[in-house]
Chains A and B, each alone.
Chain A
Amino acid sequence: MARTESAVVVRAEHLTKRWGSTVALHDASFTVERGVTGLVGANGAGKTTLLGMVLGLHRPEGGTIEVLGQDPWTFGPRVRAKVGYAPEHDALPPDMTAHDVVRHLAEVHGLPHRAATERASDVLFEVGLGEERFRQVGTFSTGQRQRVKLAQAIAHDPELVLLDEPTNGLDPVQREEMLHLIRRVGHDLHIDVVLSSHLLEEVERVSDAVVILDGGQVVASGRLAELRGADVGELVVHLDGPGDALVARLQAAGIAAAAEGERVVVGLEGPVVYDVVRDALADLGLGLRRMEPRISSLEDVFLAAGTLSS
């Protein structure tokens, strides 16, 4: 099966879905491109419904959705053969071994028995459960079960993998490891990932792009770098004293600058600015704590979109 070459993995246009009187998705339009995409929103924002629609499990009431170039509602089995999915909730039979579960699900996704057996071991090693793979899933910790869910989602070598809240119930160390694994899946194994989470900070750390949902609506979507304006073109200089002298000096040199207490925000018009700042600091004898390009966090984007209700 040839891998889809298109840069667009999921394309949704004016997608609408209701559950009874509850609007789960309303006029949602966005594209998911290659790489790792975070699907962010508070609980009940429509993330899981959206993943269900990507899998072709729910029929859109309005609008269209295309996954790997096909309509998942019409071509469900064909699309799902190329997609891996790890749900938010526990979804593993407790009385089977991790290896049996992963092998069986790989077979269900179309792999012949022998390939499924080999790959079950491979992916369980990949997620760090190589030694435990013949233990029953019921004896596993929450962290280990999350890893088995990830393993079964990638065992059939999908083109796209959907991870619904994969860090739920994990302690900080396990979360770190899970995020590392997800980054590895997306960047080293080249499987496109859609990662849903209500935790901004974790999405920010592993994703290339985000789709932000609130109350079933897409409030922002796009590359992370563009959304948070990585190239806002400003340099923040942290000093150990008032920055007014530095500001005056820089303005005299024709560089935009403004003091915010002990911080000075400098317009970054070119690499030469760094030299000017350095020389100015040296001449004025000011102590420099640190210097960094100004990056707005995803949280700023979120706040700007007025969604950070929780």
Chain B
Amino acid sequence: MSSAPGTGHIYDGGYRHYDGPRLGPSSAVRSVMKQTVQRVMGLRRPARSKVLPFLSVIMAYLPALVFVGVVALLPKQVNDGFLPDYAEYYGFITMAIVLFVLFAAPEALCPDRRSRVLSLYLAAPLTRGTYLLAKAMAVASVLLLVTLGPPLLLLIGRGLQGVGPDGPVGFLVIFVRIAGSGVVMALFYTAVSMAVSSLTDRRAFAAGGTLLAIIGTSIVAGVLVNAMKLSDAWYLANLNVPPLELVGRIYGVRGGLPEVGTVWVALAVAGWTAGGFAVAFWRYARLRVTR
């Protein structure tokens, strides 16, 4: 900004031309992603916007903290076998994850359409596709906070107890399993909740719709298997089942559906995830802006 002597200007008012670097669309995506993460977490916003995100984070981490604390403080003979394994841990925090899912995607998508700031985003170097990509990355990274962080904390706890992984290879294997499980859960719920949130511009309806989808599919799956005597594989239509089942398989455990092949479980997760994103993209491709 400094000028050589004799070449200075007196600027009129506040406006100056900008001749610095201009970053491309990837920077636009990063900026939207960052802004969305802040929005969902209630950062730079009033205290009431922080309640839900921080409540779910506490709910997700508290069990892990308690386990680790107990393990660290009590003698080994008392707490032997006390720690849950990684796949089991998701059972403790399902509520936290669902709570987070219920408000993350609605908060990320709905206000932009309701306040119509979307028309400003689409007038920027973004497209509908890159905009949704930024939103999906934001929602997924926020969900990773509860799907990835707590098991990592548990890893530390098990290490303290001396039942942690053996050697660098063992550590790497367990780390990949934790990361894989966290990503599977985050992407699955990002896709499903973004699909519902793309259908309405009211956050409350989007959250309610997501909850309905989770409960509704469990009823449908129950009817299909129990009343219509279809195979157990139809339980995969229940939105709660495929991600948890796949996480179990990642750790080498067959959960509630022992006779369903892992391929089918993986396909169900991939199908729900792809389908969810497809609905969101389809909706946004048809949205009318600036006409």
A residues with a Cβ closer than 8 A to B are 1, 19, 24, 48-49, 51-52, 55, 57-58, 76-78, 80-81, 83, 85, 87, 89-96, 100-101, 104-105, 107-112, 115, 119, 121-126, 130, 152, 154, 156-157, 188-189
Contact = CB atoms under 8 A, between A and B. Distances in A.
A154 B20 contact: no
Contact of B119 (A91, A109, A122, A125): A91
Name which of B12, B23, B117, B122 has the most chain A CB atoms within 10 A of its CB. Answer: B117
Given A51-B290, A77-B125, A91-B117, A112 B14 contact: no
Interface in B114-167: 115-117, 119-127, 130
B25 interface: yes
Given A87-B116, A91-B115, A93-B115, A104 B31 contact: yes
A19 B17 CA distance: 38
A101 B115 CA distance: 12
Contacts of A188: 12
Main secondary structure of the interface of B (DSSP, over half): loop
Contacts of B15: 122-123, 126, 154, 189
Contacts of B18: 111, 115, 119, 156-157
Contact of B22 (A81, A93, A122, A123): A81
Contacts of B23: 110-112
Nearest to B125: A77
B21 interface: yes
Contacts of B115: 90-94
B291 A48 contact: yes
A122 B17 CA distance: 11
A111 B22 contact: yes
Interface in B1-51: 12-18, 20-25, 27-28, 31-32, 35, 44-46, 49
A234 B83 CA distance: 97
6 contacts: A55-B122, A76-B125, A78-B125, A95-B49, A101-B117, A111-B18
Given A76-B127, A90-B115, A157 B17 contact: yes
A3 to B, nearest CB: 9
Contacts of B20: 111-112, 115
